Homo-oligomer: A and B are copies of this chain.
């Protein structure tokens, strides 16, 4: 069966990227690899919108999240987590595992973090050293207002740490302009790569914390990455094939233009919402992001079966809900190597499957709404 991947990571990988990944292996301690590696690192600075160096880990995104925690903090430090979903919980989980005290502001799923709550918390707890949050929360489809959070936090002693794993190269993001101190990201979302690379970049303010951090670290030790970076290399064996693929993916993004990538995702998000809305379904996220649309499963429909049957019977992969929202929401991604007709496919498959499952909707109605929105420009 021909397959269509519309999940919020991994996302489809363009052919030229897959072929770059399949190139012959080169050794990681050669001038040839150093050139490739430095090009990729330079490209990532552009995608992070930062002048700081971006370090590349052979790991998936959660490794970079661990890296942020163990490099910034020390045992018994206090951190603040803005928990807007499953990946907010992950910050809390990691902090707990490393003996960092976590103040948590937990929002109902579907809602974004509010600047006023953070302001209050930071005033009440001046000992907070770092604020951990998400650019976009994959599990709920919300986007956080990082520009506002950054503007608040920059005048405090705390640093702002952003998990941009699902948002990077899809949702508008400007690390330096928005005063984000630490950004972590992964390869298998907007970057259009297979999973296996993670990224991190830190501001000068954050590096001061790194200098004083005493949590144990080895594999994800930023100082060691920095030291090796100065020699155009990495502490351990580099994930050579994925970095070759990364270079090609960055080329594709630059060709399209990062701002155009943001616009494309926003446009696809808007078209997706139109299509789903025309079928009478309700959005889940209060402040929907541009990389994934979360939708409430209509009354009387088995949400888990909907996702499973679309995948197994049509070959159309979307994502279900996680944790408490299993079966209650579904999620359609529109990031990375996804274009107009991928959304047509998703909405077409959705309206067909809803009918098959006894939830009657007018065939073509959702697709028509998508088309209308896409034709707006």
A→B interface (CB under 8 Å) = 3, 5, 7, 9-13, 18-19, 21-28, 30, 58-63, 66, 93-94, 97-99, 186, 188, 194-196, 215-221, 235-242, 311, 317
Which residues of chain B are near A59, meaning CB under 8 Å? Answer: 58-59, 63, 219
Which residues of chain B are near A99, meaning CB under 8 Å? Answer: 216
Q: Which of B19, B60, B241 contacts A237 (CB 8 A)?
A: B60
How far, in angstroms, from A66 to B63 measured CA to CA in the complex?
13
Which residues of chain B are near A3, meaning CB under 8 Å? Answer: 24, 26
The answer to whether B25 and A60 have CB atoms under 8 Å apart is no
Judged by DSSP, the binding face of A is loop
How far, in angstroms, from A221 to B90 measured CA to CA in the complex?
14
How far, in angstroms, from A3 to B25 measured CA to CA in the complex?
10
Which residues of chain B are near A217, meaning CB under 8 Å? Answer: 97
Which residues of chain B are near A219, meaning CB under 8 Å? Answer: 59, 62-63, 66, 219-220
Residue of A28, A66, A241 ringed by the most chain B CB atoms within 10 A:
A241
The answer to whether B188 and A30 have CB atoms under 8 Å apart is no
Q: Which of B9, B22, B236 contacts A62 (CB 8 A)?
A: B236
Given contacts A194-B242, A216-B216, A237-B61, contact A7 B22 (CB under 8 A): no
Given contacts A62-B236, A220-B219, A237-B60, contact A194 B25 (CB under 8 A): yes
Q: A9-B237, A194-B239 are in contact. List 10 more A-B contacts (CB 8 A).
A: A10-B26, A10-B27, A12-B24, A18-B22, A25-B188, A28-B195, A60-B237, A195-B238, A195-B241, A196-B242
Residue of A5, A63, A216 ringed by the most chain B CB atoms within 10 A:
A216
The answer to whether A216 and B97 have CB atoms under 8 Å apart is yes
The answer to whether A30 and B317 have CB atoms under 8 Å apart is yes
The answer to whether A97 and B63 have CB atoms under 8 Å apart is no
The answer to whether A21 and B24 have CB atoms under 8 Å apart is no
The answer to whether A216 and B98 have CB atoms under 8 Å apart is yes
Q: Which of B12, B26, B195, B241 contacts A21 (CB 8 A)?
A: B241
Given contacts A93-B218, A216-B99, contact A58 B25 (CB under 8 A): no
Which residues of chain B are near A24, meaning CB under 8 Å? Answer: 3, 5, 12-13, 18
Sort A-B residue pairs by CB-CB distance and give the 3 closest, nearest first. Answer: A194-B241, A22-B22, A196-B239
A216's closest neighbor in chain B, by CB? B98
6 example contacts (A-B, Cβ-Cβ < 8 A) are as follows A12-B24, A21-B241, A58-B59, A60-B239, A97-B218, A215-B216
How far, in angstroms, from A239 to B9 measured CA to CA in the complex?
12
How far, in angstroms, from A373 to B221 measured CA to CA in the complex?
46
How far, in angstroms, from A27 to B235 measured CA to CA in the complex?
30
The answer to whether B317 and A195 have CB atoms under 8 Å apart is no
The answer to whether B237 and A195 have CB atoms under 8 Å apart is yes
Distance of A66 from chain B, by nearest CB (Å): 5
The answer to whether A30 and B242 have CB atoms under 8 Å apart is no
Given contacts A94-B218, A317-B30, contact A61 B236 (CB under 8 A): yes
How far, in angstroms, from A165 to B342 measured CA to CA in the complex?
42
Q: Which of B10, B61, B239 contacts A195 (CB 8 A)?
A: B239
The answer to whether A22 and B25 have CB atoms under 8 Å apart is no
Which residues of chain B are near A237, meaning CB under 8 Å? Answer: 9-10, 60-62, 186, 188, 195
Distance of A175 from chain B, by nearest CB (Å): 23
The answer to whether B98 and A218 have CB atoms under 8 Å apart is yes
How far, in angstroms, from A235 to B59 measured CA to CA in the complex?
13
Given contacts A59-B219, A241-B194, contact A11 B30 (CB under 8 A): no
